[in-house]
Structure 1
Amino acid sequence: MKSMPPPYEPPPSAPPVYTHANIEYNYAYPRIHTDNGVTIITTVVPVGADSTHMICPNCNTEIETTTFEKPRTIAYLLGAFICILGCFCGCCLIPCFMKSLRETHHSCPNCNHYLGRFRT
C-alpha cells in the first residue's frame, strides 16, 4: 500500500527584506526658487546625446537645450599618436570624427547657461 505524501505548508508571504546599498549619484540637490509667491523646485535632469526638454536652473524657463558636439581630449591624443606613427596625411583626424570619442555639451538657448555634457 502506498502512503500519502506529507501535507504541504503554505509558502511564506514575501521574501526577506534586504537593505539596499547607499548609492550616491553625481546630481546636485534640487534648487528652490520663489518668484511672485510661486515656489518652483527644479531638479537635475540627466542630459543625453540629443537635446533635452527641461527647466533651466538659471532663468527658470521651460526649454529645449541647445547642443553642440566636440571631440574629447582622448581624440586629440590619439590623433597625435597616429601622426607620430607616420600617418599624418589625414589619418590622424579619424579619432576626431569617431562618435565614441565625442562629447555633447548642453546649454540654455535663452540665457546661454551651461547645463552639462554627455559622453558616449
Structure 2
Amino acid sequence: MESQQMILTRPEENQMESERMILPPPYEAAASLPKLAQMPSAPYPSEVQAPQIIERTIVIQQPAAPFGPNPINLTCSSCHQDVMTKTTSSLKGEAWLLVLLLCCVGGLFCCWIPCVVDSMYITYHRCPLCNAYQGETS
C-alpha cells in the first residue's frame, strides 16, 4: 500500500517549488500504523530518592498577663527584666462623647458622671525601666 501525501499549494501563478507544504497522512492512514510497545512505568533502578528533611518550629506562648487597673508583675517584652508595671489611666473616647452629650442635655449638673465611673477609664501598663508598652485594660 502506498503512502498518500497531500500537497498544499498557493493559488498564485508564479509559485516556486520550495513553497509547497507537505501535509501528514490523513487520520485513517495514521490509525493503521503499528503501535509502539508500552514502556513500564516503574522508575529506573538508578534513580534514588533523596531523604526528606523535616523542619519543625516549636512556638511557646506565654499566657497573656491579666492586665487590670492595678500594676502587675511581669517580664518586660522589650528589656526582658522582671518588673512591676507603671500604670496610667485616661478617659475613653466614648466617655468624652458622653460628657459632651450630658452637658448639652443635663447641663453642668450631670456632665461629671462619666468621670467617676471606673468602666469609662482605660489603663495603660508600661515598663518602668525602658518605658515600653506592655498592655492595656479597658
* Range into which the TM-score falls when normalised by the shorter chain: 0.5 to 0.7
Provide the residue aligned with 2:47 in structure 1.
Answer: none
- 1:103 paired to 2:122: yes
Describe the superposition over 1:10-37 as per-residue Cα deviations: whole angstroms up to 9, x where unpaired: xxxxxxxxxxxxxxxxxxx74xxxxxxx
Cα RMSD, aligned residues only: 1.8
Structure showing greater Rg: 2
Provide the residue aligned with 1:61 in structure 2.
Answer: 81
Provide the residue aligned with 1:48 in structure 2.
Answer: 68
Query: 1:83 offset after TM fit, Å?
Result: 1.2
The 5-angstrom pairing of residues 16-95 of structure 1 reads 30=61, 44-87=64-107, 89-95=108-114
In structure 2, relative to structure 1, the CA distance for the partners of 1:62 and 1:76 (3 Å cut) is: same
Report which of the two has the higher share of strand: 1
Q: Which of the pair has the greater relative contact order for Cα pairs under 8 Å at 6+ separation? A: 1
Q: Percent identity?
A: 32
Query: 1:72 offset after TM fit, Å?
Result: 0.9
- 1:112 paired to 2:131: yes
Query: 1:111 offset after TM fit, Å?
Result: 0.4
Provide the residue aligned with 2:43 in structure 1.
Answer: none
Q: Give the distance between the partners of 1:91 and 1:56, measured in 2 at CA.
A: 41
Provide the residue aligned with 1:37 in structure 2.
Answer: none
Question: What SS does the corresponding residue of 2:90 show, helix, strand or coil?
Answer: strand
Provide the residue aligned with 2:33 in structure 1.
Answer: none
Report which of the two has the higher share of helix: 2
Provide the residue aligned with 2:17 in structure 1.
Answer: none
Q: Which amino acid aligns with 2:122?
A: E
Task: Determine if contact 1:71/1:97 at 8 Å carries over to the other structure.
Answer: no
Query: 1:74 offset after TM fit, Å?
Result: 1.1
Paired residues, what number? 79
Runs of 4 or more consecutive aligned structure 1 residues displaced over 4 Å after TM superposition: none
